[in-house]
Amino acid sequence: MAQWDALVDAALARLASRNLLRATRPIALAPPPAPPETFAGPGPWDRAAVEIQLDRATLHQWLAEGGEATGQEEEVDEKLILFSGNDYMGLSSHPAIRKAAVKAAQEYGMGPRGSALICGYTTYHKLVEESLAELKKKEDCLLCPTGFSANMAVMTALGSVSSLLSVGRKPAEGERIAVFSDALNHASIIDGIRLVERQQEVVAFVYKHCDMHHLDFLLLFSMDGDFAPLPELAHGTLVCGENGGGAPELFGCENDIDISVGTLSKAAGCQGGFIVCSNRWKRLIQSRGRSFIFSTALPVPVVASVYAALHVSKKERWRRSVIWRHVQYFASLTKLDLTSPIISIVVGSEEAALRAGRHMLRSGFHVTPIRPPTVPQNSCRLRITLSASHSLDDIKRLVDALSPWLPDKHDEQTYVMASKL
């Protein structure tokens, strides 16, 4: 990466010469309270993460999707087990996360409202950035409002290197940055690439999903497949690795990854996104990453809850063990080869997906059918997510309800894929 560092340093020098380097100026808040209480096993609060209730109007609307009218609507229980959420660790309902958010809201309200470069950044934000950088073994971290904005910020900052080094003109094709992107990458990565492509700052090469023969090096990672066959991906925060450092920790390749983008809206049970990287990359991204620059910073209660979630995840390691036991249990019941707490059961047409979704609803489960444009035509699916807050009985009953769509009970075109964390 020596050449990359030189390019970034040159881009930073160009920004500095034009007085365009930007830095956050944290507003001081009182230090957070002592580390929150943690527990040796699940508590009653965990069920709140997966037990939900729909109102009757919503229930009827869902059951009517696809034009079906059966007269069964009144028989459906409004109370459901949630298997569509992203709260893998079951932290969203944890007492420590609740208390942290409540305390911060009582003391600061939502906190100063503005972008991070104006007034929205506080010492709480800085504390979370330091914690994430330590977790991911990186020099620094940039906290973003969402994972989507984090990916967009990285892409626009990356493309800006070409423009900054091509003074007064658009970079020639040979001067643009080459981006290699998995065909099934997340929409935020795709949109970021398209933006900088239109600005003639990068040249994008899309490789077949997880096909390492179609790729010289892996730069990004997949949206709709299992773990990539090389350990050069940066996801699974809090779920993978002994300390929750994600797939890089799991594969022991943290030092080989220069920029890692993650979300706090999934395993952390909170909200937001982050970019862990070197100091130089952070300076560039916060100066040229448009989705970071022009977005309002996360509210202080959310940031306080993230800080608590990171502490709980570090102490309650049993949660990682539980979620992977659940993956193994689901696999043992279905005889499927799974590598992730997210399982996509592909059922084909939109009509088939809606029918399957209604069946799951009547069976007492919130499992959302995924349809175009999220997925291609005729690859609609039921997207199932397992959580540490589920019970083994929840999973057993779910598998029973899914039986018509599992490969050994359905036609040969049905298949299952483990999705990204």
Domain count, the chain: 2
In a domain, 239, yes or no: yes
In a domain, 152, yes or no: yes
| Residue 236 and residue 123 in one domain | yes
CA 296 from chain centre, in angstroms, equals 19
Give the residue from 312, 340, 365 where a domain finishes. 312
In a domain, 363, yes or no: yes
Query: How much is the pLDDT for 176?
Result: 86
- Nearest Cα neighbor of 304 from 263, 264, 260, 244 is 264
| Residue 320 and residue 352 in one domain | yes
Q: 86: exposed, middle or buried (C-beta count within 10 Å: 0-12, 13-18, 19+)?
A: middle
Give the CATH number, domain containing residue 400. 3.90.1150.10
Q: 411: exposed, middle or buried (C-beta count within 10 Å: 0-12, 13-18, 19+)?
A: exposed
| Residue 147 and residue 271 in one domain | yes
Residue for token digits 């937001």? Answer: 272
Task: Print pLDDT tens along the chain (421 aa).
Answer: 678 889 999 999 999 999 999 999 999 999 887 888 999 999 999 999 999 999 888 888 888 886 655 555 456 778 999 999 999 999 999 999 999 999 999 999 999 999 999 999 999 999 999 999 999 999 999 999 999 999 999 999 999 999 998 887 888 888 888 888 777 778 888 888 898 888 888 888 877 666 665 555 444 543 343 444 433 334 466 676 666 666 666 656 667 688 999 999 998 999 999 999 999 999 999 999 999 999 999 999 999 999 999 999 999 999 999 999 999 999 999 998 888 898 989 999 999 999 999 999 999 999 999 999 888 899 999 999 999 999 999 999 999 999 998 876 444 344 444 344 3
**CA neighbours closer than 13 Å in the CB half-sphere of residue 219:** 21
In a domain, 38, yes or no: no
| Residue 157 and residue 279 in one domain | yes
Query: How much is the pLDDT for 413?
Result: 42
Total Cβ atoms within 10 A of residue 242: 9
| Residue 85 and residue 8 in one domain | no
Residue for token digits 């983008």? Answer: 261
What residues make up the domain containing 67? Answer: 46-92+315-419
Question: Rounded distance, CA 401 to CA 361, Å?
Answer: 10
pLDDT digits (tens, 9 = 90+) for 265-306: 998 999 999 999 999 999 999 999 999 999 999 999 999 999
Order the strands of the 51-53 sheet from edge to edge: 51-53, 79-82, 365-366
| Residue 138 and residue 193 in one domain | yes
Query: How much is the pLDDT for 414?
Result: 43
**pTM of the full predicted structure?**
0.84
Give the residue from 287, 312, 337 where a domain finishes. 312
